[in-house]
């Protein structure tokens, strides 16, 4: 399998074809099969249509939300949303509005999908397990923080809401993050993915943000990354992009120094993984090394380790506090309700 096909497998053929279009025109050759790209675009078109339908339904409720990551990028960064549409919608909501949004979605057939978890359970404090529509064709990730620790140390929910921009999507005006916050969330998500295969798409979005021609206040990006304790992984991302061909001057020099000292060899291995599009999967020890040395600052690494140890003793299921699964072992229909109410229901059916 060549690099182009591996790239397509990681980001979808539709997005890969868009990224490779200039190189194909220059070389006069196609890297991907036309039928494969067409099929990918059709799948994305179907997914996008479903997502926009639910977006409009949510907009009609008047509940204030901000659309994050892939859904926002598909409709603001790319000439056609079918190029970049993926299978879920990320929605940021204030905690005060969480119960109302959950009630609305579950009343309309959405249920939490209890995905397999690591032995320490669900450690994110920014979002929950995905909500899936009754038809199984739409997945929604509800966020109560823009991203998990340490992102919200400097980028709070109110910051994202207050600085959000309006985007017209399918006839509805919705909120998406400003370009600086969108960039920061790409950086924190790539680091959270340990710069592995799932981070490739985030780096594509970063590159598209840089190519969009929109002015970026780099002082804001650097200040928030530093005060939020994720400046080191942010610099790793930009240094990696430089090694992969990003022209000098696209990002301030202060944000892309090449990692040195103890970080040098892990960084070179990361560059090799990206250059080969992860032809060889990194070992568990390599991933652990990367997380400790490149993806987190020291205090964050200790924080995450503590969460995992705590999770081994008291495992979280990734559901909002006070929420029972749609159908528990007692055959009781779940809802967003106080724990005392849920307990009384279980006793009454026992």
Sign, CA dihedral 272-266-155-47, equals: positive
For residues 127-156, average pLDDT: 95
Whole-number Å distance between alpha carbons of 241 and 236: 9
| pLDDT tops 90 at residue 25 | no
Task: Supply the DSSP string of 10-58, one letter for each residue.
Answer: HH-HHHHHHHHHHHHHHHT--SS-HHHHHHHHHHHHHHHHHHHHHHHHH
Domain coordinates in residue numbering, the chain: 3-319, 320-350
Total Cβ atoms within 10 A of residue 320: 16
Q: Please report which confidence band the pLDDT of residue 324 belongs to, taking 50, 70 and 90 as the band edges.
A: low
Given the structure tokens 């320490």, which residue do they identify? 120
**209 within 8 A of 216, measured Cβ to Cβ:** yes
What pLDDT, on the 0 to 100 scale, is given for residue 117? 87
Which listed CATH number (3.30.460.40, 3.40.50.720, 3.30.565.10, 1.10.260.40) goes with 3-319?
Answer: 3.30.460.40
- State pLDDT tens for residues 129-143: 999 999 999 999 999
Record the pTM: 0.89
What pLDDT, on the 0 to 100 scale, is given for residue 222? 98
Mean pLDDT value across the chain: 90
Whole-number Å distance between alpha carbons of 209 and 215: 10
What pLDDT, on the 0 to 100 scale, is given for residue 6? 93
Total Cβ atoms within 10 A of residue 242: 17
Q: Please report which confidence band the pLDDT of residue 321 belongs to, taking 50, 70 and 90 as the band edges.
A: confident
**150 within 8 A of 229, measured Cβ to Cβ:** yes
Which residue in 92, 87, 111 sits closest to 323, CA to CA? 111
- State pLDDT tens for residues 59-100: 999 999 999 999 999 999 999 999 999 879 999 999 999 999
What is the percentage of the chain residues whose pLDDT exceeds 70? 92
């Amino acid at each position: 399998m060549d690099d182009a096909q591996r790239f397509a497998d990681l980001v979808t053929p539709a997005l890969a074809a868009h990224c490779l279009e200039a190189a194909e025109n220059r070389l006069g050759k196609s890297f991907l099969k036309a039928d494969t790209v067409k099929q990918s675009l059709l799948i994305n078109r179907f997914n996008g249509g479903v997502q926009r339908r639910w977006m409009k339904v949510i907009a009609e409720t008047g509940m204030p939300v901000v659309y994050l990551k892939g859904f926002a990028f598909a409709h603001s960064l790319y000439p056609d949303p079918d190029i970049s549409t993926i299978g879920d919608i990320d929605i940021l909501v204030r905690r005060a509005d969480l119960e109302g949004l959950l009630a609305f979605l579950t009343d309309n057939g959405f249920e939490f999908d209890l995905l397999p978890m690591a032995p320490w359970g669900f450690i994110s404090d920014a979002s929950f397990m995905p909500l899936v529509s009754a038809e199984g064709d739409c997945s929604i990730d509800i966020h109560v923080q823009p991203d998990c620790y340490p992102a919200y140390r400097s980028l709070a929910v109110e910051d994202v809401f207050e600085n959000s921009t309006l985007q017209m999507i399918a006839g509805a005006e919705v909120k998406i993050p400003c370009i600086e916050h969108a960039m920061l969330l790409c950086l924190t998500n790539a680091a959270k993915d340990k710069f592995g295969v799932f981070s490739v798409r985030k780096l594509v979005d970063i590159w598209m943000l840089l190519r969009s021609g929109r002015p970026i206040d780099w002082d804001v990006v650097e200040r928030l990354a530093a005060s939020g304790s994720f400046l080191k992984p942010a610099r790793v991302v930009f240094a990696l992009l430089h090694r992969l061909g990003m022209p000098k001057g696209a990002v301030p020099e202060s944000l892309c120094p090449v990692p040195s000292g103890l970080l040098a060899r892990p960084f070179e291995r990361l560059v090799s993984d990206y250059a080969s599009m992860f032809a060889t999967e990194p070992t568990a020890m390599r991933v652990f090394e990367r997380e400790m040395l490149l993806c987190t600052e020291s205090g964050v690494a200790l924080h995450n380790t503590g969460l995992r140890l705590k999770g081994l003793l008291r495992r979280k299921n990734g559901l909002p506090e006070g929420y029972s699964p749609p159908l528990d072992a007692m055959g009781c229909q779940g809802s967003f309700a106080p724990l005392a109410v849920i307990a009384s229901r279980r006793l009454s059916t026992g």
